[in-house]
């Protein structure tokens, strides 16, 4: 069975790939996990699993009613924080509010949107870029000092197989020089996310913070149904459950094994290639331009820390 195949992305692939997976039983009591986009789909499934392991689970989303429902229905040590993560001002406010938390050990960057038409946020950023890449860049950079404080901390970035079709274009991050396509913009942002995963891993080497990206496969979530209705209809019976899609998210956040490496891309708990096509490979110059472009858009930078995080 080829791991990254059409069948591999489905629930059939998950059942084959997970045959030898052990349940995640790590005791996370005393650890705090922040999960974005946690009111439904993969984020909700991840929050439920993490809370069941005993962690203080911070769920972040835009909809206050949905957040209240998640907090109430999951129970345990769950706290809801409302924020629109497409807005840099709200991300900064969220980080300030999170100061009341004694510690932060894991950040799961799960939130993402796929929009059919080019739209801009109230701050003037293209909305897919703002939510799926720039916002995650800002939130992660601002929370890194909290993660470094504790050692053995994790950053988990939820990406998409669509990124395999795209090369980063750091000089046109906002689709101002080319025709907009919702699926292309989404895949482009996800390609950028995988690049950032490697760049953060380099900058955090020796600090005890590991950074990984993961692809959940094709899961039956409200996001897929709303953004790709035809795909959802055609693939419905073969789509993974949210719990199956979130399995590697939970494993990366909680299990011991992922801490032994950093900067990798995972699918069903296996490290997979980041490129299949030569045309999608970025240069070191592209990487620097991506980072510098996001610094310019968000006003946030993060330099490498010396070993030990001091």
Query: What ranges in the chain are assigned the alpha helix state H?
Result: 11-17, 41-52, 64-74, 88-97, 127-129, 135-150, 182-203, 222-227, 229-235, 242-254, 284-298
Cα→Cα distances 111→59, 72, 280, Å: 11, 21, 24
DSSP one-letter code for 21: P
Q: Report d(CA 54, CA 31) in Å as an integer.
A: 8
Q: Check if the beta carbon of residue 267 is closer than 8 Å to that of residue 163.
A: no
Which residue is catalytic, options 14, 81, 164, 186? 186
Q: Report d(CA 164, CA 50) in Å as an integer.
A: 29
- Residue 186 a catalytic site member: yes
Q: Report d(CA 61, CA 66) in Å as an integer.
A: 8
DSSP one-letter code for 130: I
Query: Pairing between strand 209-215 and 153-158?
Result: parallel
Query: What is the set of active-site residues?
Result: 186
């Amino acid at each position: 069975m080829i791991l990254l195949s059409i069948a591999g992305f489905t629930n059939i692939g998950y059942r084959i790939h997970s045959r030898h997976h052990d349940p995640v039983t790590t005791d996370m009591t005393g650890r705090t996990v922040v999960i974005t986009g946690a009111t439904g789909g993969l984020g909700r499934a991840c929050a439920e699993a993490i809370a069941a392991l005993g962690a203080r689970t911070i769920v972040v989303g835009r909809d206050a009613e949905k957040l209240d429902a998640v907090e109430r229905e999951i129970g345990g040590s769950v706290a809801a924080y409302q924020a629109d993560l497409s807005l840099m001002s709200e991300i900064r406010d969220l980080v300030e509010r999170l100061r009341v938390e004694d510690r932060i050990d894991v950040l799961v960057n799960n939130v993402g949107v796929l929009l059919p038409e080019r739209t801009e946020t109230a701050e003037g950023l293209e909305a897919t870029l703002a939510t799926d890449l720039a916002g995650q860049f800002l939130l992660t950079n601002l929370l890194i000092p909290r993660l470094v404080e504790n050692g053995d901390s994790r950053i988990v970035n939820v990406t998409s197989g669509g990124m395999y079709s795209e090369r980063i274009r750091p000089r046109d991050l906002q689709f101002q020089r080319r025709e907009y396509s919702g699926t292309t913009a989404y895949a482009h942002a996800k390609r950028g996310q995988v690049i950032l995963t490697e760049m953060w891993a380099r900058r955090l080497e020796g600090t005890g913070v590991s950074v990984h990206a993961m692809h959940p496969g094709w899961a039956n979530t409200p996001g897929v149904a709303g953004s790709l209705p035809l795909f959802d209809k055609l693939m419905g019976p073969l789509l993974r459950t949210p719990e199956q899609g979130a399995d590697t998210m939970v494993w990366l956040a909680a299990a011991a094994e992922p801490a032994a490496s950093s900067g990798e891309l995972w699918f069903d708990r296996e490290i997979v290639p980041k490129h299949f096509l030569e045309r999608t490979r970025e240069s070191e110059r592209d990487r620097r331009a991506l980072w510098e472009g996001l610094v310019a858009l968000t006003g946030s930078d993060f330099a490498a820390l010396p070993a030990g995080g001091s």
